[in-house]
């Protein structure tokens, strides 16, 4: 595929800092970033903090940090500035006022004095008549003199956009031709009575000023697009190319919510999903590399991302698949690196003291190596190692492991004979391969089936029905601890 360079492409990600970075927003950011990087364009960050009551600098900082952690970088933004700043809406109010005055002067917007009470009554009446709630245009055609008098008297007034008759259409990169009848679009409020701008208005002012060429954003914004396009038209400007990314759905087919999975990027990070797995999984939310390759990195996204190939259908956020993908990446990590990633969870579990990360490092690395193949996310390690940390006289036997033991005839006899045989053979240094071979020979000589010994042995040593190779496990805990576990099992494992 040929790489087209287009220095003119300017895209943006525009989060509202009113909460943690949503995982869906992270995908929007990633796709915009990839589009800019693929074509040598610019990727901007803009903070949409007009909701002053709910926006905080802490959220803003956390959002930026989260995006950088994912591996994204930006060419202009609130932290680094740029030629079209400021990049926080709260710092751009003077510009919105200017644009509002311009639109009012052009007759594209009008002052509306309707009180909340009147609007409430209007809505109630419309609902009663089964009509779609909409502003009835009472203030649309006020005489200029009346308007001036009421304004001069200090009567509160919002600024509404005067939606023209006709239809609004655009070609969406993902959805193709989209048409909205303007009569479905209300004369919406652009500026509140207190002078603060409303989202659809501020976004257009900013996208114009920041020379945005392509707007890739979530499908939930689709109904905002005709309002925004009408504004561009009122300003006599060409509008950007839009692409609405499919909603991310939970496995229940509904909008992603806490019920079917975590919704914040940070939650997945906190749980120890490898960063590359998060990026890869987000890529798969509505886009595919080639229809078959599921595991691929951010470079492949940049080399291949094409918004016209994004699917229209909702993307199912399948946590099982995410976990599987996490495991694929986790296992690719060199052991030392994986250890660094798992270490905080070992400490947080209370099973390993911070200083033990250093003093018992070799042992912990060995333990990690045993469990690596069964791990998916970093935080699973402490739980997976329950058996290794167990107090030797108090190994907890799982019901599944006990069932496997009870299936063996005279497990106690077998285990106790094996213990007598094993005791003199175990020394400080466990020669696990020789021990494995010798044990198999021991089983064969007695004409036993392997499970007759291995099931009770596994339960006695680990309390679990499955897990790493038993001789690796014995090597990890050492001869002394293994013997204590076997001896106590003869009494406890009934």
Q: Which residues are catalytic?
A: 258
Query: Residue 35 in contact with residue 69, Cβ under 8 Å?
Result: no
Question: Residue 213 Cβ, how far from ligand GLU at the closest point, in Å?
Answer: 14
Kindly determine how many residues on this chain lie close enough to bind ligand GLU according to the rule CB under 6 A.
7
Which residue of 15, 243, 274, 286 would you call a contact of ligand GLU, by CB under 6 A?
15
Which residue of 11, 14, 326, 388 would you call a contact of ligand GLU, by CB under 6 A?
14
Query: Could you tell me the two tokens for 42?
Result: 């610019």
**For strand 158-161 and strand 189-191, is the pairing parallel, antiparallel, or unpaired?**
antiparallel
Residue 199 vs 281, nearer CB to ligand GLU: 199
Candidates 11-19, 114-122, 258-266, 286-294: pick the segment binding ligand GLU (CB under 6 A).
Answer: 11-19
Tell which positions 36-95 bind ligand GLU, by CB under 6 A. Answer: 48
Question: Residue 32 Cβ, how far from ligand GLU at the closest point, in Å?
Answer: 9
Which residue of 16, 21, 213, 473 would you call a contact of ligand GLU, by CB under 6 A?
16
Residue 48 vs 60, nearer CB to ligand GLU: 48
Question: Residue 170 Cβ, how far from ligand GLU at the closest point, in Å?
Answer: 14
Rule CB under 6 A: say whether 20 interacts with ligand GLU.
no
| Distance (Å, whole) CA 394 – CA 299 | 50
CA distances from 150 to 143, 192, 417 (A): 11, 16, 101
Which residue of 27, 111, 160, 217 would you call a contact of ligand GLU, by CB under 6 A?
217
Contacts of 206 (CB under 8 A, 6+ apart): 14, 46, 89, 92, 212
Rule CB under 6 A: say whether 221 interacts with ligand GLU.
yes
| Distance (Å, whole) CA 147 – CA 142 | 6
Q: What spatial distance separates the first Cα and last Cα of the chain, rounded to whole Å? A: 66
Tell which positions 173-212 bind ligand GLU, by CB under 6 A. Answer: 203
Residue 221 vs 323, nearer CB to ligand GLU: 221
Residue with tokens 């020789």: 434
**DSSP helix, strand, coil percent of the chain (3-state; round to 5):** 50, 10, 35
Residue with tokens 């990169």: 173
Question: Residue 16 Cβ, how far from ligand GLU at the closest point, in Å?
Answer: 4
Residue 16 vs 414, nearer CB to ligand GLU: 16
- Helical pair 411-422 and 432-445, crossing angle rounded to 10 deg: 130
**Residues that bind ligand GLU in the complex, under the rule CB under 6 A:** 14-16, 48, 203, 217, 221
């Amino acid at each position: 595929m040929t790489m087209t360079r287009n220095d003119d492409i300017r895209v943006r990600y525009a989060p509202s800092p009113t909460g943690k970075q949503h995982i869906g927003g992270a995908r929007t950011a990633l796709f915009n970033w990839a589009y800019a990087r693929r074509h040598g364009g610019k990727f901007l960050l803009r903070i949409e903090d007009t909701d002053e009551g709910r926006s905080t600098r802490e959220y803003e900082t956390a959002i930026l940090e989260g995006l950088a952690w994912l591996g994204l970088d930006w060419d202009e933004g609130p932290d680094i500035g740029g030629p079209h700043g400021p990049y926080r809406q709260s710092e751009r109010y003077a510009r919105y006022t200017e644009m509002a005055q311009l639109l009012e002067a052009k007759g594209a917007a009008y002052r509306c004095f309707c009180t909340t009470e009147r609007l409430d009554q209007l809505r109630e009446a419309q609902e009663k008549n089964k009509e779609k709630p909409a502003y009835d245009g009472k203030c649309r055609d006020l005489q200029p003199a009346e308007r001036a008098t009421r304004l001069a008297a200090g009567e509160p007034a919002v600024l509404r956009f005067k939606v023209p008759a006709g239809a609004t259409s655009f070609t969406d990169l993902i959805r193709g031709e989209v048409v909205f009848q303007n009569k479905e679009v209300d004369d919406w409020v652009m500026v509140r009575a207190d002078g603060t701008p409303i989202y659809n208005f501020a976004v257009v002012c900013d996208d114009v000023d920041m020379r945005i060429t392509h707007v890739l954003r979530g499908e939930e914004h689709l109904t905002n697009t005709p309002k925004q396009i009408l504004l561009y038209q009122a300003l006599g400007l060409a509008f950007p190319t839009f692409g609405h990314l499919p909603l991310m759905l939970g496995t229940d087919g509904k909008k992603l919510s806490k019920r079917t999975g975590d919704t914040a990027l940070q939650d997945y990070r906190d749980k120890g999903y490898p960063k590359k797995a998060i990026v890869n999984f987000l890529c798969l939310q509505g886009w595919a590399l080639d229809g078959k390759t599921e595991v691929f990195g951010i470079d492949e996204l940049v080399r291949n991302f094409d918004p016209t190939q994004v699917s229209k259908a909702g993307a199912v956020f399948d946590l099982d698949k995410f976990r599987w993908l996490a495991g694929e990446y986790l296992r690719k990590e060199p052991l030392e690196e994986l250890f660094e990633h798992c270490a905080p969870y070992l400490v947080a579990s209370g099973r390993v003291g911070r200083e033990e990360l250093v003093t018992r490092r070799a042992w912990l690395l060995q333990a990690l190596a045993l469990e690596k193949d069964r791990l998916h996310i970093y935080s699973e390690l402490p739980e997976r190692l329950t058996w290794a940390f167990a107090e030797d006289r108090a190994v907890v036997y799982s019901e599944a492991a006990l069932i496997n033991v009870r299936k063996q005839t005279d497990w106690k006899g077998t285990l106790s004979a094996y213990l007598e045989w094993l005791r003199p053979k175990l020394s400080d240094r466990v020669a696990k391969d020789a021990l494995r071979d010798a044990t198999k020979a021991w089983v064969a000589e007695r004409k036993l089936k392997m499970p007759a010994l291995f099931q009770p042995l596994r339960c006695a040593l680990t309390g679990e029905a499955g897990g790493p190779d038993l001789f690796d496990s014995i090597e990890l805990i050492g001869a002394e601890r293994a013997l204590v576990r076997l001896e106590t099992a003869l009494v406890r494992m009934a």
